[in-house]
């Protein structure tokens, strides 16, 4: 099958697959060399002023597991993406990739209650597994004996089983996570559902192109530059290059840190005043040592203005009692780009 695919590649280069792979490489490689701020910037949702962020979360990868995440997605693009482009044609493959990109990106935006999104190109690429499954069904009907001996098919099956079954097993059984606690799994299912609906309409053309692939007859397509979806992929590619350059530039040249003052207004209320506007906050440290005779200490927080976080306690805090609260602060760092810093309050 590799030789048959190379024959088709020589006849017509898989431009869409190349643009998607190049987008991953261009945006993810800086994560290996720049500080964490680059990864923080690239996983943010876009705004009107920071429109260049729109594609970055889809073509960068989680820093916590960047190597397996990055190379896993590249394998999906290489093994399944190129096959999809040949079976569907560049125009339909571009349309399918745009559809999975926008669907999973919009769902990612809706799911997040802050401007911090998940990383990864798997939202785009996971639907390609469905095309490969349909390819397997057809190939087993046509050349069952050859298919079981074909290196490409065997590698594809191994990758597919690991992606669809192996990764959830590792997360649920070994890492003791809930299946949907990793929102990426939801995006994977959405991506696959989108592709299933498309295959239903294109299955006759897929069968014809598979026959040409097996017979090593050139698969004819419409002119590359007369396809609106292909221009859409090219636009996303160029936007991603600009967004990557912008994120690198901000990472290298913006050195602002979060400036704030802790003001104890009383022994029952504390205000933290910031020099920059706060996008959101999240308490990730809570340590309280209190006098049993005085009763438990409860507290709540709220942003009373874009630059002031107020902490209110249910009763006065005595000198013999200690409180330590830590907050992850998302603040407006550069135009509509936010930065994440830590703020610690101790009485």
Q: At what angle do helices 183-215 and 2-11 cross, to 10 degrees?
A: 80
Q: At what angle do helices 228-253 and 90-111 cross, to 10 degrees?
A: 50
Rounded to two decimals, what is the model's pTM?
0.86
Read off the pLDDT of each residue in 134-163 and give the average, rounded to a whole number: 84
Model pLDDT, residue 246: 96
d(CA 313, CA 270): 9
Ramachandran quadrant class, 182 (left: phi over 0; alpha: psi -120 to 50; beta: rest): beta
Identify whether the C-beta of residue 318 lies closer than 8 Å to the C-beta of residue 306: no
The chain-wide mean pLDDT, for the chain, equals 88
Model pLDDT, residue 245: 97
Domain extents in the chain = 2-253, 260-346
Residue 287 has pLDDT above 80, yes or no: yes
Model pLDDT, residue 29: 96
Beta strand pairing call for 299-305 and 322-334: unpaired
| Tokens (6 digits) for 343 | 């703020």
Identify whether the C-beta of residue 344 lies closer than 8 Å to the C-beta of residue 57: no
Residue 169 has pLDDT above 60, yes or no: yes
pLDDT tens string 174-187:
877 776 777 788 88
Model pLDDT, residue 225: 58
Read off the pLDDT of each residue in 271-286 and give the average, rounded to a whole number: 91
Model pLDDT, residue 288: 87
Model pLDDT, residue 60: 92
Model pLDDT, residue 222: 66
Q: How sure is the predictor about 230, in pLDDT bands with cuts at 50, 70 and 90?
A: confident
The domain defined by 260-346 carries CATH number 3.40.50:
no
């Amino acid at each position: 099958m590799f030789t048959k695919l190379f024959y088709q590649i020589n006849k017509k280069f898989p431009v869409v697959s190349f643009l998607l792979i190049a987008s991953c490489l261009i945006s993810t490689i800086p994560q290996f060399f720049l500080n964490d701020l680059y990864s923080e910037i690239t996983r943010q949702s876009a705004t009107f002023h920071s429109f260049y962020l729109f594609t970055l979360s889809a073509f960068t990868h989680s820093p916590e597991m960047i190597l397996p995440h990055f190379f896993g997605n590249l394998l999906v693009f290489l093994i399944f993406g190129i096959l999809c482009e040949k079976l569907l044609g560049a125009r339909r493959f571009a349309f399918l990739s745009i559809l999975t990109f926008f669907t999973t990106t919009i769902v990612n935006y809706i799911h997040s209650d802050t401007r911090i999104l998940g990383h990864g190109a798997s939202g785009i690429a996971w639907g390609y597994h469905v095309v490969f499954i349909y390819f397997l069904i057809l190939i087993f009907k046509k050349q069952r004996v050859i298919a079981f001996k074909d290196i490409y098919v065997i590698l594809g099956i191994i990758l597919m089983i690991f992606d669809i079954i192996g990764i959830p097993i590792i997360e649920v059984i070994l890492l003791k996570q809930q299946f949907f606690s990793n929102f990426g799994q939801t995006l994977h299912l959405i991506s696959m559902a989108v592709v299933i609906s498309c295959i239903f309409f294109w299955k006759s053309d897929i069968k014809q192109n598979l026959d040409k692939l097996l017979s090593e007859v050139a698969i004819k397509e419409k002119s590359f530059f007369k396809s609106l979806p292909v221009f859409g992929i090219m636009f996303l590619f160029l936007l991603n290059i600009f967004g990557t350059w912008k994120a690198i530039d901000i990472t290298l040249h913006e050195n602002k840190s979060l400036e704030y003052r802790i003001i104890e207004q009383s022994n029952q209320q504390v205000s933290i005043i910031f020099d920059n506007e706060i996008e959101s906050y999240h308490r990730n440290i809570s340590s309280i040592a209190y006098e049993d005779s005085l009763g438990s200490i409860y507290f709540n927080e709220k942003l009373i203005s874009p630059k002031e976080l107020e902490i209110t306690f249910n009763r006065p805090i005595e000198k013999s009692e200690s409180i330590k609260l830590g907050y992850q602060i998302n603040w407006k760092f550069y135009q509509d780009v936010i930065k994440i810093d830590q703020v610690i309050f101790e009485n």
